[in-house]
Amino acid sequence: MAKDIGIDLGTANVLINIQGEGIVLNEPSVVAVNSKSNKVLAVGSEAYQMVGRTPGSIRAIRPLKDGVIADFDITEQMLSYFIKKLNVKGFMSKPNIMICCPTNTTDVEHKAIRQVAEKIGGGQVYLELEPKVSAVGAGLDIFKPFGNMVIDIGGGTSDIAFLSLGDIVASRSLKIAGDRLNMDILNFVKKKYNLQIGERTAEKVKIEIGTVVPGHRNEEIDVRGRDTISGLPRTITLKSDDVEPTLNETMMNVVEAAKDVLGVIPPELAADIIDHGIMMTGGGALLDGMDQLLMDNLNIPVNISDTPLDDVAVGTGILLEKILGSENQKR
């Protein structure tokens, strides 16, 4: 008997949750390909090590962009590799698969995601909206007649959703998230210091010294890159306050989107949020000062999930069990 599989197909990472075993895989959504033969050379962590370091004949591809599949074939190969690595298919049977997608994905994109799941050997394929799944994974009971608000900041998208009675009442999805912050840092360093740095370096800066609130953090980091004028390697020291303005400016877009969602929900549900607060999840929940930024601008308590990086994958397992349980009851 094949075990059911929940997949968090993220722009930055793929997480796989197997029924009864929990999260068994968490690897970067990167595939290294030989550009001459189109042969896949490495997938996941091994391929991520190659980002920004490959010779001309090898490309490190991220097949998902802004939360959607940008390269269908590479995504399929990446997922096939991960599923084979886990060896989860039972003899002669196909596992049920649940995959998540952001709230603003189109029907065409839904179809592409579904086809990928079917091609890698899925039986029944279920698609579910990411903020709903992450809310469940973060421990919110979204099935009661009660308002829950979740802000899920991932690698490619930030999803803001208001949920009640198991469904989304109002939502916004922005293509502004972790990847955009990395690019902000990269562009800031290039503009201010004439220093070209790589995406991985920018991500390291974001994690180690980044903040969205002035004076909230006081760290520094040495950053190495290529001088854009001389072309030679050079090192600079960056402080938290150096990168704060650019990160703050970008994340204010998420704050404004949260205001938009709060502006369209029924008053009774809005009152629930004042009592319970907003749940923050996804990798962006770990960005220093992000909860403070939301609280300062929305005047509502903000809670950070205990396991923000795992919530979507955990939620797929809970929801899949719930769906299959109710289907079995109907039979």
Q: Which residues does the annotation place in the binding site?
A: 11-13, 155-157, 203-206, 283-286
Cβ–Cβ < 8 Å for 28, 12: yes
DSSP 62-95: --EETTEES-HHHHHHHHHHHHHHHT-PPTT---
Q: Cα(97)–Cα(82) distance, rounded to whole angstroms?
A: 14
Angle between helices 311-330 and 130-137 (to 10 degrees): 100
Q: Cα(123)–Cα(127) distance, rounded to whole angstroms?
A: 13
Select from 244, 325, 330 the least CA-distant residue to 292. Answer: 244
Strand segments (E) across 109-262? 125-129, 148-153, 158-164, 167-174, 195-196, 220-227, 233-239
Residue set of the binding site for ATP: 11-13, 155-157, 203-206, 283-286
Q: Cα(153)–Cα(167) distance, rounded to whole angstroms?
A: 19
Q: Cα(50)–Cα(127) distance, rounded to whole angstroms?
A: 31
Structure tokens at 327: 């289907």
Cβ–Cβ < 8 Å for 184, 246: yes
The radius of gyration computed from the CA coordinates of the chain, to the nearest angstrom, equals: 21
- 132-151 in b/e burial notation, b at 16+ Cβ within 10 A? bbbbbbbbbebeeebbbbbb
Place of tokens 């502004």: 176
